[in-house]
Amino acid sequence: MKTIFSGIQPSGDLTIGNYFGAIKNWLSLQNEYNCFFCIVDLHAITVKQEPKELREKIMEVLAIYIASGIDPNENNLFIQSHVPFHSELAWILNCFTYMGELSRMTQFKEKSLKVGESIPVGLFTYPILMASDILLYNTDLVPVGSDQKQHLELARDLAERFNTLYSETFKVPEPYISQNSSRIMSLQNPMKKMSKSDENINSYIKILDEENVIRNKISKSVTDSLGKISYNDFQPGIKNLINILTSITGESVQNIEDRFSSKGYGELKKEVSDALISEMLPIQNKVKELLNNKDYLVEVYTKGAENASRISYKVLKKVQRKIGFI
């Protein structure tokens, strides 16, 4: 059985972009692959976090994973910092990575602009930690969006570079491109990806947003003045709403266009709101239940870390022997 690795940062609140772009797709993967779904808290601290809030968000993300349908008995659910081999391998890979490779990373360029002059080194080197995450588990496939393709390419380059120097050690991972995942865009600027770090709170919908908040944000979503519901690049706001609806219902774009051929934007927004609330409400209720049972969540992440440590330790020891460590 092939292995898949994926993870989400526990920084800020998870949005429906995280849900439809990643978590919901994991549900089908868990039945076909050996899956490692990680909460990547080491990545989260590349920007300043409030300790109390970070601890809360880590538990919340784990609860969202499980509430969304990720089975902890069938998958490896764990917290990244609980497996120290991620950091150990990252340091070794640091020594095989070139400055030029990291300086070309577009995400670093974008994120460093928000930080100002005092740019943390971790923000520059975190693609190496991402490579470590992937390579530690002999990962075959990595679900990636377009914004992460560069980072996966670095992981592949490092694996091949190390294998060339020291003989076959790492499995070279391939991208997993889902046919069903939708790229959910900002509700206020549908030309850019929905982001939990957006300054405009109306641009994103949190997985845990209440019903009235969801309806309000959808109703305020940017559309256009054409007045026709059509799925095309000239109407990015309408296209985004249709993508959200198809992600929930599985209905074809063509069918939605046909049903709304004589209807207005308000009717489309109402249907999207209704569908989204129906999808999120059971997850929200389950999250509340899980967060009230912290002992169970601790049991899940402890078991997950033990299993992940056992597997990743073997890979790290092989690497250490190859480079000459005793």
What is the spatial order of strands in the sheet that 3-8 belongs to? 76-79, 34-39, 3-8, 141-143, 174-176
Q: Are 172 and 156 in contact (CB under 8 A)?
A: yes
Q: Mapping DSSP to helix (H, G, I), strand (E, B) and coil, where does residue 233 land?
A: coil
34 sits in which H/E element: strand 34-39
Q: Are 218 and 190 in contact (CB under 8 A)?
A: no
Name the E strands within the chain.
3-8, 34-39, 76-79, 141-143, 174-176
Question: Is 114 a residue of the active site?
Answer: no
Question: Is 24 a residue of the active site?
Answer: no
234, 190, 237, 248: CA torsion to nearest 10: 120
| Tokens standing for residue 252 | 């074809």
User: In Å, what is the CA distance from 268 to each residue of 7, 123, 125, 217, 237?
Assistant: 33, 40, 44, 14, 11
Question: Is 196 a residue of the active site?
Answer: yes
181, 183, 188, 192: CA torsion to nearest 10: 170
Q: Are 189 and 203 in contact (CB under 8 A)?
A: yes
Q: Are 171 and 181 in contact (CB under 8 A)?
A: no
- Catalytic residue among 24, 193, 206, 217, which? 193
Please tell me what DSSP assigns to residue 38.
E
- Catalytic residue among 2, 149, 171, 196, which? 196
59 sits in which H/E element: helix 51-67
- Active site residues per annotation: 111, 193, 196
